[in-house]
Amino acid sequence: MTVDYHLHTSRCGHATGTMAEYAAAAEKQGLAEIGFADHFPLELLGFTPQHRVNMQPEELDGYVAEVKTLQSRLSFPVRLGVEVDFLPGREKETAAALARHDFDFCIGSVHFLDGWDFTHPGEAKRYAELDPDELYDRYFALVRDLARSNLFDIVGHLDVIKKFACFPRRDWSSVVDASCREIKKADLCVEVNTAGWRAPVKEAYPGVMLLAKCRELGIPLTLGSDAHSPQEVGYGLQRAVQLLAGLGFREIATFCGRRRIMRPLLPL
Ligand code: ZN
Ligand code: FE
Ligand code: FE
Ligand code: ZN
């Protein structure tokens, strides 16, 4: 059972390809199940980002409708998801906005630290001015708030703060431990996001230390390529499955109507 639960579409403004093209790529690779998870309109949560990084509010209904059309046409499950920023102080708006659609799953991600779009290549210069230890503390504190918010089903790219190969200088195992405990307490699933292998860090999200902690605590995992083009659908999933099998994972999480369904983890 191999799934790709993190597909974007051209609606977010920085991806290419139609949904039908993403679905065709998945079918060709024999993926058992896919989930679209385009960037939720931040404007609906009362936040206007500096770069265009999400669907526009008026595009959301069309996005939902197009996934439903694909569901009726394809022979494998196509799930309706979204990737939503966790914006502290906007929990009520987020809950209300997500409740308006019958999503199968919601990925909660952190892409902003006090308005800084830290995964955006155009904003990466700022890392040089910051202390990595402090940065990790701030980032993972937000991840723990995300877990406690009870808004999402999946934590997106759990350690994306490493994207430009920024790592703490000190031992940060206590941060790993505290963050995973909060995720477990919230009964959240963690995605293994293969986009890290395409990023400067050249490491999947999350790294092995976090994955081993997930295993130890019994945190379920799902898989996503974070494809921003049809060519990236399924990217690195086989390698990810091998990595997880080696760490002792035997199941993978899938979602329907925001309910988690565990399936056996099998190679492609
Ligand atoms: Zn994106
Ligand atoms: Fe993301
Ligand atoms: Fe994404
Ligand atoms: Zn992403």
CA of 228, nearest ligand number: 1
Check residue 267 and give its pLDDT: 59
What are the pLDDT digits (tens) for 55-77? 999 999 999 999 999 999 999 99
Alpha-carbon torsion, ordered 85, 86, 92, 98, to 10 deg: 40
Burial classification of residue 202, based on how many CB atoms lie within 10 Å of its CB (0-12 exposed, 13-18 middle, 19 or more buried): exposed
Greatest pairwise CA separation for the chain in angstroms: 52
Question: What distance in angstroms lies between residue 40's CA and the mean position of ligand 2's atoms?
Answer: 11
Question: What distance in angstroms lies between residue 83's CA and the mean position of ligand 2's atoms?
Answer: 7
Question: What distance in angstroms lies between residue 248's CA and the mean position of ligand 1's atoms?
Answer: 30
Domains of the chain: 3-264 (3.20.20.140)
Question: What global pTM score does this model have?
Answer: 0.97
User: Confidence class of residue 43 from pLDDT cuts 50, 70 and 90?
Assistant: very high
